């Protein structure tokens, strides 16, 4: 019998589901066997997994026109995801390669901040292929393929966003553990939870917002403190990981976020 690759915490929705745990290991082994430079392996998603994707897809897609930034909405339309089938990482990676030179690198689960940022420096994004547990389709305690493909992938097709991601990754090369922690925090407040003001209206560009309808609605509810993005201040600001974000940072454009990050990294 194969040794399990994936360890789930006792409060994970799939902890007591042996079939889900078997499936997580099956998909994790595909990532573990993947050879660098090859297209991501294809996964034959089950009807249950496709139904989970559909539930989240339809709820998020309904919010995007009024909550997501215009660049995201343009790419989301071009990707032409279907509600009834989980997209393949290989197909989306090829789309990104053509648009911005970014590729999706399959991983079994969470990787260290240093390894994740190092991959970004080479325009490679570490992406999972499993999907959240069907009992809680609108919640996941970790990144899954919904988060990767609904949140990150469309934004990585935007040149300014792809450059921002790579620049943060480049800043981690040779950095101390403390500096990597600061960069991971900045990644959180920009790539994951960034806001942009378009024609006077706040819109989301961060993947953590764009892949969670709860976070997305909360971010634009008017009950969240939103500050102009200051990387020096943001890098030292703590944030919760189990509740909605109480503080977000806005930029006038994604290019402005890249410019501010470049200033920060050049001065570090």
Q: Which of 71, 148, 160, 192 is catalytic?
A: 192
d(CA 257, CA 152): 16
Active site residue 34: no
Span between the terminal Cα atoms of the chain, in Å: 50
Which residues lie below 8 Å from residue 56, measured CB to CB, with a gap of 6+? 132, 137, 138, 146, 150, 213
Strands 201-204 and 195-198: antiparallel
Q: How many CA atoms lie within 13 A of 186 on its CB side?
A: 28
Per the listing, tokens 């399959």 go with: 106
152 is catalytic: yes
Spot the catalytic one: 152, 165, 212, 218: 152
Respond yes or no: is residue 133 known to be catalytic.
no
| Dist. CA 52–CA 32, nearest whole Å | 24
Q: What does DSSP say about strands 225-228 and 247-251: parallel, antiparallel, or unpaired?
A: parallel
Catalytic residue among 93, 147, 148, 218: 147
Choosing from 118, 165, 211, 212, the catalytic residue is: 211
Would you please indicate which residues are annotated as catalytic (active-site) residues? 147, 152, 192, 211
């Amino acid at each position: 019998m194969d040794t399990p690759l994936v360890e789930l915490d006792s409060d994970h929705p799939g902890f007591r589901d042996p079939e889900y745990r078997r499936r997580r290991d099956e998909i994790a082994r595909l990532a573990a066997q993947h050879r660098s430079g090859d297209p991501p392996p294809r996964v034959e998603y089950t009807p249950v997994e496709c139904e989970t994707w559909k539930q989240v897809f339809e709820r998020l897609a309904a919010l995007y026109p009024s909550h997501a930034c215009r660049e995201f909405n343009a790419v989301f339309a071009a990707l032409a995801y279907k509600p009834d089938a989980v997209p393949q990482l290989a197909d989306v990676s090829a789309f990104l390669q053509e648009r911005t030179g970014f590729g999706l690198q399959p991983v079994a689960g969470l990787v260290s901040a240093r390894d994740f940022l190092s991959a970004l420096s080479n325009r490679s994004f570490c992406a999972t292929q499993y999907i959240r547990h069907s009992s809680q389709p609108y919640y996941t305690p970790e990144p899954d393929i919904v988060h990767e493909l609904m949140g990150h992938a469309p934004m990585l097709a935007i040149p300014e966003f792809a450059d921002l991601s790579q620049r943060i990754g480049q800043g981690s090369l040779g950095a101390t553990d403390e500096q990597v922690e600061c960069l991971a925090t900045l990644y959180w407040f920009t790539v994951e939870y960034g806001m942009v003001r378009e024609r006077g209206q706040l819109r989301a560009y961060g993947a953590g917002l764009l892949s969670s309808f709860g976070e997305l609605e909360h971010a634009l509810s008017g009950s969240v403190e939103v500050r102009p993005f200051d990387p020096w201040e943001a890098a030292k600001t703590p944030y919760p990981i189990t509740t909605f974000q109480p503080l977000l940072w806005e930029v006038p454009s994604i290019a402005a976020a890249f410019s501010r990050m470049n200033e920060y990294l050049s001065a570090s």
